[in-house]
Amino acid sequence: MKSPTVIIAAYNEEKTIEKTLSSIQNQGAEVIVVASGNDKTKEKAEEHPATDKVLKDKKESGAGAARNQGARNASEEILLFTDADTEVPSDWVKKHVRHYKKESVVGVGGPLKPLQKTIRHKVLFKILSDWWYRVSWVFGFVQLSGSNCSYRKKDFLKEKGFNEEISFMEDTELSLRMKKHGKIVYDKEAWVKTSARRQENEGYLKLFLSYVKGYFNYYVRRKDPGRDYFESSESTTSP
């Protein structure tokens, strides 16, 4: 079995980072937190026994840049990524790492489940963050979520990691680039539970359409997939 490093990008997540770290503790992985923001995320991560390294996010320009910083400081050959509002099952690391016994495998992803327990969230997550992935995978449109993905480090570094120039959809963009290096596996058993706060704030339909527009912007119009999305969000929330 290959050795793993878990990397967590955390921006103002003092309320959730401890639960994330506790869920990863004792899974046999090096744990790196890349912290940013103005709350006590960094201090809470440093105090937690699961943490091996806490890095101050040098750029504070998004999750992609923070994940890349963590990857450059990783000691191990398999990189696992999750978020600081996410909790993973006790065998999550093992389920990812087992696929790397095959040298042809360069990436692994799995489904997302909501931390919130309402039927609405459970059903919509199942459709949009599991079934949708399975269907798109068949057609070569692999989508590894930043809160539940892993890569072989040498191939990740060859691709220079997540694209720090785009503001949206950087996790999907990377997984599509990584295909050239080998096989990307979807493991339906390697799930994580993550916060549905974004879906609650924006609505599932609006968020799904934002992703569709992002794919079109980036792969057809060749522009930042998220610029229009974030500009419209800022305009609706500005006083």
CATH number of the structural domain spanning residue 89:
3.90.550.10
The predicted model scores a pTM of 0.87
Task: Indicate whether 162 belongs to any domain.
Answer: yes
- Of 24, 112, 30, the closest CA to residue 71 belongs to 30
For residue 173, how many C-alpha atoms fall within 13 Å in the half-sphere facing its CB?
25
Task: Indicate whether 216 belongs to any domain.
Answer: no
> Is-contact 97 1, C-beta < 8 A?
yes
Domain count, the chain: 1
Task: Indicate whether 135 belongs to any domain.
Answer: yes
At residue 232, the pLDDT reads: 39
**149-152 and 78-83: which strand pairing?**
antiparallel
Mean pLDDT of 21-38: 96
Confidence of residue 59 (pLDDT cuts 50, 70, 90): confident
Task: Indicate whether 221 belongs to any domain.
Answer: no
Task: Indicate whether 215 belongs to any domain.
Answer: no
Task: Indicate whether 205 belongs to any domain.
Answer: no
pLDDT tens digits, residue range 165-193?
Answer: 887 789 989 999 999 999 999 999 999 99
> Is-contact 87 164, C-beta < 8 A?
no
At residue 228, the pLDDT reads: 47
Name the residue range of residue 103's domain: 4-200
Task: Indicate whether 238 belongs to any domain.
Answer: no
Residue with tokens 């930042």: 224
At residue 75, the pLDDT reads: 95
Residue 144 has pLDDT above 60, yes or no: yes
| Separation of alpha carbons 19 and 6, rounded Å | 15
Q: Rg of the chain over CA atoms, in angstroms? A: 17
Average pLDDT for the chain = 87
Residue 2 has pLDDT above 80, yes or no: no
Other residues' Cβ atoms within 10 Å of the Cβ of residue 222: 7
| Burial degree of 13 (CB within 10 A; 0-12, 13-18, 19+) | buried
Residue 221 has pLDDT above 70, yes or no: no
Lowest pLDDT segment from 113-117, 123-127, 226-230: 226-230
Task: Indicate whether 145 belongs to any domain.
Answer: yes
Q: Which residues pair with 113 in a beta bridge?
A: 193
